[in-house]
Structure 1
């Protein structure tokens, strides 16, 4: 049985990754505890040393991923995302780790991309525009460097927008779904506040994203970067419209100035040929099913609060 150590195991993707591994009898997961602080080098060393065995693989999900928080405290963001990755790599080296290390970066690394350059391939220039994406680009470069100079088997993932049950309401689709659920349950006036909903994004169900992580752990090429996405762009207005339809509500849609972002990327779409060609991975969840599941999650959560 293969042993895998997962940082960020209690987060959005981490929880779904754990659920997926429960269906794979050849893998056993060891998740970093919720209170593991990547800023604490000694704590990271202890967490790795306390594992029952040196893992066969590591999935590094843990990060400070909130962009407004990154602007408010860029130093903490770098300490977690960049230096935290360094501390983890050092702890693994000290433990004699010789397995595969999957670093999860972000498609936010590409920055503002002209529409004529869509879809975005892995060789596209990286032009990060906020402290979060800068920290992820730096950490990705660090992980790559360790694949070249420290003998680590490193694969690099750049997921695009992933959505699904359990996502924090700070993210647009989760926020829409919660508001629709509140209206359906009679807990909110029929009025939904949004940012710019005429932008497009490449959305993938988080359950497909974690399947991509497994595919890369098993079949990815060491030292290579892989986009993870649907390869399709969907307008946020369409997402909201479907959620309203599935929720069976009628509502006013109001643009809230506080939700608008300057220099917003108008369109986004991933070129996913590399991961598909290398691993055979492709999404299984249709967008409608994902949105229905998100809406049901919020209805259940609100009902039980």
Structure 2
């Protein structure tokens, strides 16, 4: 079997490539930058920014993947406020280019495509104390969520109108080793590692600690993605939440990371880190994907946080 991963050099793409290869799958990938043709996985990587439909068709006809995992995109809520048009172009227009190319390619009848969405598509739900399932109406509250909601509608449209085998994953917060800065866990871990290298007063600056989110290890996430495309009974044109189903406070994440350090670190609130719109509680419902694939998370939160901090220390050459 062959798989194509767009955005293969990203956080999730690299983990997915490694997982697929461990399953005996031949992996190919795309990157948007010429100097980024390297991956820690042993994959053949093509430079293709997904802006040209013809070049995508040529790529698909050459590689002939049975699975396409569309990971390329802008995935940061804060950045989406700063670049609204850029976020919509990257997440919506490039997805449309890929879907159009797939339906016009020689593999349109066989290829299965996974588009990646987000819990941000749901936005502010009526009852935040109840876990969010796929039937909840979409009310995104930020440009990133709006862009991913649009992707979900196009995924369904391409199945309904053209029979393209597309499904959409609405993924809740995913964390793990290798995630870039700009996300809560890596930002915490990075600050802690930097403070471990200095003497004197140690202060970590944070945003809202009371919000509760649904976190899943990226290594569990990529396994879910593979199962969604490889399960024979997958319903194309459908949406599946990928989440743990367990709410965790940001404060408990920080407390656990601090407990893994021997340093005495003071915590202060930085108003610049607060979002324009923030939702206090988000719990995903993962029963639909469990029923389809028997998937469930295997990594504990403690294990994930340990691995994130360990990765950050190794990256910064910190010796405890």
Q: Structure 2: how far apart are the matches of 1:293 and 1:12?
A: 14
Q: Structure 1 228/71 Cα, relative in aligned 2: closer, same or farther at 3 Å?
A: same
Q: Does 1:90 align with 2:100?
A: yes
1:247 aligns with 2:245: no
Structure 1 residue runs without a partner (length 5+): none
TM-score (norm 2): 0.89
Aligned partners of 1:158 and 1:18: how far apart in 2?
Answer: 20
Note if 1:30 corresponds to 2:31: no
Query: Whole-Å Cα distance in 2 between the matches of residues 49 and 96 of structure 1?
Result: 6
Alpha-carbon displacement from aligned partner over 1:94-122 (angstroms, at most 9, x marks no partner): 22222211111111000012445520001
1:167-182, aligned counterparts within 5 Å? Answer: 167-182=179-194
Separation (CA, whole Å) in 1 of partners of 2:254 and 2:213 = 13
* Displacement after TM superposition at 1:187 (Å): 7.2
Residue 155 of structure 1, CA deviation: 1.4
Post-superposition offset of 1:67: 2.5
Task: Tell me whether 33-42 or 153-162 shows the greater mean CA deviation.
Answer: 33-42
Cα pair distance change 1:118/1:188, threshold 3 Å: farther
What is the CA-CA distance between 1:184 and the residue it aligns to?
2.1
Change in 2 beyond 3 A, CA 1:271/1:72: same
2:154 matches 1:142: yes
Structure 1 range deviating more: 68-77 or 248-257: 68-77
**Aligned-partner Cα distance in 1 for 2:118–2:263:** 34
Residues 176 and 219, structure 2, Cα contact 8 Å, conserved in 1: yes
Query: For 1:189 and 1:14, how far apart are their aligned partners in 2?
Result: 38
Indicate if the aligned counterparts of 2:7 and 2:13 stay in contact, CA closer than 8 A.
Answer: yes
Computed over aligned residues only, the root mean square deviation of the Cα atoms, in angstroms, reads 1.7
Distance 1:262 1:86 in 2: 29
Q: Paired residue for 1:128?
A: 140
* 1:115–1:267 contact (8 Å) kept in structure 2: no
1:128-207 alignment runs, 5 A limit: 128-186=140-198, 189-207=201-219
Q: Which residue of 2 aligns with 1:229?
A: 243
Task: Tell me if structure 2 keeps the 8 A contact 1:37–1:43.
Answer: no
Contact 1:32/1:47 (8 A) holds in 2? no
Q: Partners of 1:49 and 1:76 in 2: how far apart? A: 29
Question: For 1:170 and 1:275, how far apart are their aligned partners in 2?
Answer: 28
Deviates more, 1:227-236 or 1:132-141: 132-141
Q: CA–CA distance in 2 between the matches of 1:287 and 1:231?
A: 13
Q: Which runs of 5+ in 2 are unaligned?
A: 34-47
* Separation of aligned partners in 2, 1:264 and 1:184: 30
